[in-house]
């Protein structure tokens, strides 16, 4: 299976996906850590993919939606953005609203 096929499969099979450097328990960059903290705070369940484990996935996710940086967040198959966008959406309340609108359970 190609990197693009793996990415499509992961994004389509999970409501929320975080492509990141490291893992939620041990993020290996500050931007990934910030997004993990935000998703954990709102209580959204998410799948994570450590791009450091597979160079093809690391490059493939950048090519998948023409976005040059990691982390990347997908919700219901839709690319949402990276750290800055997710952080801004969180600060304005838009992230929780969007997750709720898409039927994703969050903490109150």
**Domain range summary for the chain, segments of one domain joined by +:** 3-101
pLDDT of residue 1: 85
pLDDT in tens, 7-55: 999 999 999 999 999 999 999 999 999 999 999 999 999 999 999 999 9
CA–CA separation, 19 vs 27, rounded Å?
11
Class of domain 3-101: alpha beta
Q: Which of 8, 24, 23 is nearest to 74 (CA)?
A: 8
Q: What is the reported pTM?
A: 0.95
| Residue 86: pLDDT over 80 | yes
């Amino acid at each position: 299976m190609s990197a693009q096929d793996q990415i499509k499969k992961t994004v389509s099979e999970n409501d929320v996906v975080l492509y990141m450097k490291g893992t939620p328990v041990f993020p290996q960059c500050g931007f990934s850590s910030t997004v993990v903290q935000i998703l954990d705070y709102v209580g959204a369940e998410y799948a994570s993919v450590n791009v450091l484990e597979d160079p093809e996935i690391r490059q493939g996710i950048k090519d998948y939606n023409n976005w040059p940086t990691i982390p990347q967040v997908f919700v219901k198959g839709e690319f949402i953005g990276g750290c800055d966008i997710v952080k801004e959406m969180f600060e304005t309340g838009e992230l929780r609203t969007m997750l709720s609108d898409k039927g994703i359970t969050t903490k109150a």
